[in-house]
Structure 1
Amino acid sequence: MPRYARRSARVLLIDAEDRVLLLRSALLSEPGFAWFTPGGGVKWWERLRPAAARELREEVGLTVRPRELRAVAFTTGYADLTFAKGLFRDDFFVHRVDRHEVDTSGHTELERKHYAGFRWWSAADLMITDETVYPFRLGELLTELVAGRPSARLVELPWHHAG
Structure 2
Amino acid sequence: MTANSSKDHLVGGREGRQVERYFLARVSAADVHPARATQPDNVREFRWWSVAELRATAETVYPLGLADLVTEFLERRCTVRPVVLTG
Give your verdict on TM over 0.5: yes
Cα distance in 2 between the residues matched to 1:92 and 1:107: 15
Partner residue of 1:111 out of 40, 48, 57:
40
1:122 maps to 2:30: no
**SS in structure 2 at match of 1:133:** coil
Deviation of residue 127 (structure 1)?
1.3
Structure whose residues are more often helix by fraction: 2
Aligned residues of 1:72 and 1:154 also touching (Cα < 8 A): yes
Aligned residues: 85
Q: In structure 1, what is the equivalent of residue 22 of structure 2?
A: 92
Partner residue of 2:79 out of 137, 148, 151:
151
Deviation of residue 81 (structure 1)?
3.7
Deviation of residue 115 (structure 1)?
2.7
Aligned residues of 1:72 and 1:93 also touching (Cα < 8 A): yes
Report 1:4-153 matches (<5 A).
Answer: 72-81=2-11, 85-97=15-27, 99-101=28-30, 102-107=32-37, 111-112=40-41, 114-153=42-81
Aligned residues of 2:2 and 2:23 also touching (Cα < 8 A): yes
Deviation of residue 153 (structure 1)?
2.5
Provide, for residues 58-81 of structure 1, a one-character-per-residue CA deviation record: whole Å limited to 9, x for no partner. Answer: xxxxxxxxxxxxx52111121224
TM-score with structure 1 length normalisation? 0.43
Cα gap change, 1:81 to 1:130, in 2 (>3 Å): farther
Give 5+ residue unaligned stretches, structure 1: 1-70
Provide, for residues 17-40 of structure 1, a one-character-per-residue CA deviation record: whole Å limited to 9, x for no partner. Answer: xxxxxxxxxxxxxxxxxxxxxxxx
Higher relative CO (CA 8 A, sep ≥ 6), structure 1 or 2? 2
Identity percentage over the alignment?
33
**SS in structure 1 at match of 2:36:** coil
Deviation of residue 107 (structure 1)?
4.3
| Root-mean-square deviation (Å) | 2.5
Aligned residues of 2:51 and 2:71 also touching (Cα < 8 A): yes
**SS in structure 1 at match of 2:81:** coil
TM-score with structure 2 length normalisation? 0.72
**SS in structure 2 at match of 1:118:** coil
